[in-house]
A and B are shown apart, each in its own frame.
Chain A
Amino acid sequence: MEQKYVHIISTIVEHKPGVLYTVSNLFRRRGFNIDNISVGPTEEPGIARMTIMVTGDNRTIEQVIKQLNKLIDVLKVTRLDPENIVTRELALIKVNATSTKARSDIINYADIFRARVVDVCTESLMMEITGTSDKIDAFITLMKPFGIKEVARTGITSLSRGPKSVKIDD
């Protein structure tokens, strides 16, 4: 068995209805597992970027890329070099905070992680945090003892470092 790695695939697609279905359906049909996916428009009208995280050996990833390339609404597929990218995820986390002690502890942790408190009420706090998925995982672990009420995560988004950008006609 070849070693499995986490890969990040950046996919430029037509920004129109059904494209997310087409892409995710391809993964389902071929038995590739999506660890994480995020979609949003790009600077160019009509074009969206999907950032997809997949675990697999090199052959699987090669197939994923080739099969994605075959989809007509997919304009460009690149496997990002993990050594040379910026990866971010956003999470909103709502935790129990009934005592003053809990509140100040949570805010202390939040400061260390550069999370921001975005909503406060008598029983709970909501924080916003961005960073790598690892960092968010770590923050959530820290919050667990307080009692997590809800978590919403966006899924990761990535771009490679440096001046080069992914052009459709490459």
Chain B
Amino acid sequence: MAKMTGAQALIESLKQEKVDVIFGISGGALLPIHDVLYDSEIRHILARHEQGAAHMADGYARAIGKAGVCMATSGPGATNIVTGLANAYLDSSPVVALTGQVPTYSANTSYMIGRDAFQEADIIGITTPITKYNVQVKHASEVPHAVKSAFYIATSGRPGPTLVDLPKDTQTVKAEMDFSENLQIRGYKPNIDPHPLQIKKAVKLLMKAERPMILAGGGVNLSGASAELLQIAELLMMPVATTFMGKSCFPETHPLSMGNIGMHGTMLANKMILEADVLLAVGTRLQDRSTGTLDGFCPDAKIIHIDVDAAEIGKNVPVEVPIVGDAKPTLSMIYQRLANKIKKSKNNPWIKQVQEAKDKYLSELDLGSGDLTSPKLLKELRKLLPEQAIIATEVGQNQMWAALHFQTIKPRTFISSGGLGTMGFGFPAAIGAKVACPNSPVVDIAGDGSFRMTEQELGTSVTEDIPVVVIVLNNSMLGMVAQWQRLFYQKRYAAVKLGSVPDFAKLAQAYGAEGVHVGSMAEFSSVMKNALKTEVTTVIDVPICPDDDVFPMVPPGKGLKDTVGGL
């Protein structure tokens, strides 16, 4: 037992959790912490807006699979991270937020919390519905336990954001600190290992299947189950479709890859999944953007649903075999039970059908007319980047084009806001990912609207020396909204025209970054090659046609069978 201040205990606890970086912005209610941080080994990356800090922590977590930490002062600092936490919550990303709070008591020992003190916000109340767990530390001595719980809960089971609120006096008061605790949280026991009986049922169903298919979701990325997924897919010759969040968990260059399903899934995946007689859905919550209307979703399939969160199973889609368990041990158990019993030949009729469909799909794939379309750019980008390069995206058409046309190969290389659809997420998330994986190139595929929401993090990127590449697919529009207005509102373009202000290249230069406009594919290639070599962030402004639509698309309220083509 050691006597130290709450702030010292916080830093000590963070060290124990192997935290090497914190993204944040300081303020009065964090001064004692920052003062201790000053002498510590932990790197503090000063963001330009707390939303950016939260997304950086999120991007860091998604890239590396370890909790990302963000820190904000009381009141406005804390409320500015709310979008970041909601974003992490909906995508099950382990972000630990530390917030300063007004003191529990002031010098004259009367309470300050609850009195609308300067910069007081009830961040516990505000974040209750968007965090997996949050806690306000009431005494300095509670710091080690609170931090340990926050990290454990954020990263175990179904991951998610947690928040520790630290009133200023708990940071300065000295107390006996116990770091040795063997954490036991009686209300929290995530179920990691699947029930053997359910595994048996799943195996039986898979062995009998004639047209089996896998639908892999974000849970596969989160649990690091890509290798197990690949094993099963190859053993049973099962085509693999991914959800939007599942992208990158299965190599899209693999013959069994169908690409993404969903509202902007590939025609191939959306059609083939309807043919399946057994669907192995793993680590997905079968959300409406993935399934389309439920009445037409997988009409003939018996569904095996694996999820670490019991509440997800049967929430949206009735299933034949529910399996509560983490994707990695569950897939591994299924594989082991199948391995010595079966090996499907490559020549079975189902695989032939799938292969034919894939060939047809690829031959019909239209990347748009003209030299420099977004799909063509993304295909070219794939050629220019190594396999481990990380793609982050903003939200809108840019995001859907990236999901459709940039083939991911390694797990955790596609970072995008799936659940909340947060414009402005991609750029700070890219910065966080670069901090996590300094040796991988990191590229943010942006829309001009989204980039405007967090472009000020160029300041962070440049001063903190975190070089990423931002490709702005610039249509001077809130493109995805315009697409909906084009398709469903008789081209009445209300509130979507952004104009071409600012000049993104100059904007980047103003921050000390590189900024370039490109007009042709050849120009793009050479600029991109340079950008990968330079040690500073590069913003590449690519004008695209404002009338381009993202296709295929499942019109709202329709099923996967109604996927309409185009591109």
B557 proximity list for chain A (CB < 8 A): none
Q: Which of B121-129, B262-270, B514-522 contacts A (4 or more CB under 8 A)?
A: B121-129
A75 proximity list for chain B (CB < 8 A): 186-187
A22 proximity list for chain B (CB < 8 A): 128
Give bound CA distance, A74 to B125, whole Å.
17
Give bound CA distance, A59 to B319, whole Å.
13
Q: Are B187 and A14 in contact (CB under 8 A)?
A: yes
User: Does A67 count as interface, using CB distance less than 8 angstroms?
Assistant: yes
List CB contacts (< 8 Å) of B131-167 with chain A: 132-133, 153
User: Does B362 count as interface, using CB distance less than 8 angstroms?
Assistant: no
A66 in complex: contacting residue of B128, B129, B311, CB < 8 Å? B311
B185 proximity list for chain A (CB < 8 A): 72
Q: Give per-residue flags for B293-336: 1 if the beta carbon is below 8 A from chain A beta carbons, else 0.
A: 00000000000000001110011000000000000000000000
A55 proximity list for chain B (CB < 8 A): none
A72 with B187, Cβ < 8 A, contacts A18-B124, A63-B315 known: yes
Give bound CA distance, A41 to B366, whole Å.
66
Give bound CA distance, A26 to B310, whole Å.
16
A68 and chain B: residue at smallest CB distance: B311
User: Does A73 count as interface, using CB distance less than 8 angstroms?
Assistant: yes
Q: Are B129 and A29 in contact (CB under 8 A)?
A: yes
A67 proximity list for chain B (CB < 8 A): 311
Give bound CA distance, A93 to B153, whole Å.
46
A72 with B153, Cβ < 8 A, contacts A14-B187, A21-B128, A22-B128 known: yes
Give bound CA distance, A30 to B170, whole Å.
35
Q: Are A71 and B187 in contact (CB under 8 A)?
A: yes
Shortest distance from the beta carbon of B120 to any chain A beta carbon, whole Å: 16
User: Does B38 count as interface, using CB distance less than 8 angstroms?
Assistant: no
A72 with B188, Cβ < 8 A, contacts A22-B128, A25-B128 known: yes
Q: Are B187 and A66 in contact (CB under 8 A)?
A: no
List CB contacts (< 8 Å) of A64-81 with chain B: 66-67, 69-75
A71 and chain B: residue at smallest CB distance: B187
B309 proximity list for chain A (CB < 8 A): 70
Could you give 21 example pairs across A and B, Cβ below 8 Å?
A: A13-B187, A14-B187, A18-B128, A21-B125, A21-B128, A22-B128, A29-B129, A63-B311, A63-B315, A66-B310, A66-B311, A66-B315, A70-B309, A70-B311, A71-B187, A72-B133, A72-B153, A72-B188, A73-B187, A74-B187, A75-B186
By a beta-carbon cutoff of 8 Å, the part of chain B in contact with chain A is: 124-125, 128-129, 132-133, 153, 185-188, 309-311, 314-315
